[in-house]
Structure 1
């Protein structure tokens, strides 16, 4: 039983088992430290600890599962250390978490498509930096400079120096100094968002990049190298019900949060060439009742296919971003879809579903997900909606961005090199005694998943080679009137 893996301890008394408890030590900086080898034997301890009873018997565990699966009543989820609410901008295009670096708090974009954590620095003279919170190395006695960095994004380059400092996120702290970037040059694109940098979440460590998840694991703050994300408003937040921007999803570090999903998590192994990306295989794409056969082949783990596609799971991209030909192929299935060679629009009354098969399980995107804003009534494209599926020139893999992630609960496992998805449970009431992810610990500390029961760039054409649809393309002037969905900057970020 997974709940017991973190807590079962050998009893020193024959025939007895200790109460199953997780232990935390409150640190001076307001974080909590997980202690896995603490056993309560009835005696007193000189160490002040915080405790929670996970389960005292199999019957209790069964009762917890029963509560979680009862769809008729909401589950109460306490935002314990390791779990925090995401925030978003007014257009819901990026999702960020407050992160304490040194002694200051910075809103950083939670980005599974970027391998590096970096923050605006005080040497950045751009207007966007002047309007945001910036990191000042000299203000932290722990900060030490080591080298320089440069990250190339679709929209520009972030560059600066690499420093080391202590980090707290979700009220979990690194005990060793963590290496991250302090940017003196930032892509202007970031000016649109109330953030101070990127919270990169790579799938693996390398000689030049360590995951913050690995650092927290090495600091004994979490029991496994994994994290999970549920993008978009989750349940009802008793603490933040007055602002939709303060409940833009859940970011959890450590074990999956059972309250946030139903059924099983279906995992897909990362591809051999994933590198630091969360790159998996889409085994097939079905639109309506028709299997999509793409015009160009994709090579996945050495095997070429015109049906399977490689895809990067990226919380830092708002849309579904595809290689340009794949995007064109996909839109031929939508009656009278149009393009100007750069952007797509689909009739707003579309009812087709897009089914993505991942490791034998189908995940569905409905029209509510793939249709963006409608055109105005005085537009020549009235009746059309912007497509949330875009094609990118030079793109080799699909990008499963927020359009997809908002429909699922996603678990990212560094140890097993896999990413899993489950059906979301939004019948949740969120409670918390904290005010931010960096606030001091509350009078009770908890761990893990325990229930507290209390564009395509192809030119316009009318002769698409896909023969399974009669769709036509037209789009003179389309780009002049469309409000485009945003492909966020993290797509294909890499160290220079």
Structure 2
């Protein structure tokens, strides 16, 4: 048995499981062509639309695998592309759209261990298309079983599109992104992301392979940050300082940028102090934290948290650090303690931070460009 453990899979920080989800199953029609993929569905625009579910904070892109259209969770914190298979009863029970690809005769069990659950299945070569891009014989995982934590959001997505390095895939095979660059379908090994926040009038996010989306950025030059841990396969950058209001609460830290995480993860050594300062009174409930809908830092303090990278500061407003108001008038906190590997020095900057920037990852060398959105 070979077990692939993909660090920083971080699909969702554990506390996000307390967030309510809509009971309505989102159906996406599966379609086929005689060739097994949907040429006529390829978008003319090179950018890929990303749909966000408000309740769970998950961004998905519609990907065609062997002729079937699946909503795929877009995750820069992992590398393996997987899709639900018809043999996966847990996938079907979770209302995932499933693939009917023939499983290999010799199916050796493969596991992907995320921070929030496990996916098990068989590797197979399939044709994959996303927007205007198409890759034939891409090695993906056909999921034959998923854990309860993964199944919980099955009505939102039917697989994961991992966009970290090849070194984190099972067997170090090519990712979808690296295949596009190797085949010359994109001009550079860069992928740009615009992930609008809850209060942004633009509901749809965008992902752009090989370039950036200038209309979502300011004219200010971006800051380019090298990968802080060269041997790491995810996008780890150095953080000069972290501030709450005018007070510096941490210096010389490292952070993982991860579209697959809902909120912000804080190193254990400082999380209690930061959480109480930002949220004030906190009530533990159903595995999450209930907090006030308004910042205890005061109405005039619009920025409760800021991150400085190599002299450039990006601010995160309080409204990005809480969920929508619940029936009891309180909100779920979108920050919590990160308890993963190297947790004493590592932050996880998920969507709560990424809503405030336009960021571009380099899938070859791990550098990151941060723009003001």
- The one-character-per-residue Cα deviations of 1:225-249 (angstroms, maximum 9, x if unpaired) are 1111111279877xxxxxxxxx431
Correspondence for 1:89? 53
Q: Hey, what does 2:241 align to over in structure 1?
A: 284
Match of 1:249 in 2: 205
Q: CA RMSD in A?
A: 3.0
Shift of 1:154: 2.8
**1:110 corresponding residue in structure 2:** 74
* CA shift for structure 1 position 322: 2.0
1:389 maps to 2:335: yes
Aligned-residue offset at 1:345: 4.9
How does 1:48-447 map onto structure 2 within 5 Å?
80-126=44-90, 128=92, 131-138=95-102, 147-174=108-135, 176-189=136-149, 190-192=151-153, 193-205=155-167, 207-232=171-196, 247-262=203-218, 263-272=220-229, 275-293=232-250, 307-334=251-278, 336-338=280-282, 340=284, 343-347=288-292, 348-350=294-296, 351=301, 352-374=303-325, 385-394=331-340, 396=343, 397-424=346-373
Shift of 1:308: 1.9
Q: Deviations over 1:205-243 (max 9, x none)?
A: 465232211101122211111111111279877xxxxxx
- Considering only CA atoms, is the larger Rg found in Structure 1 or Structure 2? 1
Gaps of 5+ in 2: 1-36
Find the aligned partners of 2:279 and 2:115 in 1 and give their Cα distance: 31
| Contact in 1 for aligned 2:196/2:205 (Cα 8 Å) | yes
Measure, in 2, the Cα distance between the counterparts of 1:375 and 1:132. 27
Q: Cα gap change, 1:289/1:116 in structure 2, threshold over 3 Å: closer, same or farther?
A: same
Indicate how the Cα distance of structure 1 residues 228 and 31 shifts in structure 2: closer, same or farther if over 3 A, else same: farther
Post-superposition Cα deviations, 1:38-64, rounded to whole Å, max 9, x if no partner, equal: xxxxxxxxxxxxxxxxxxxxxxxxxxx
Q: Secondary structure at the match of 1:137?
A: coil
CA change 1:389–1:146 in 2 (3 A) is same
1:370 deviates by 1.6
Shift of 1:167: 1.1
Long gaps (5+) in structure 1:
1-27, 34-78, 238-246, 294-306, 425-496
- Match of residue 5 from structure 2: none
Q: Give the TM-score normalised by the residue count of structure 2.
A: 0.76
Query: Residue 113 of structure 2 aligns to a residue in which SS?
Result: strand
TM-superposed CA distance for 1:376, in Å, is: 5.3
Change over 3 Å in CA distance of 1:154–1:135 after alignment to 2: same
Change (3 A) 1:105 1:322: same
What secondary structure sits across from 1:215 in the alignment?
Answer: helix
Deviates more, 1:122-131 or 1:255-264: 122-131
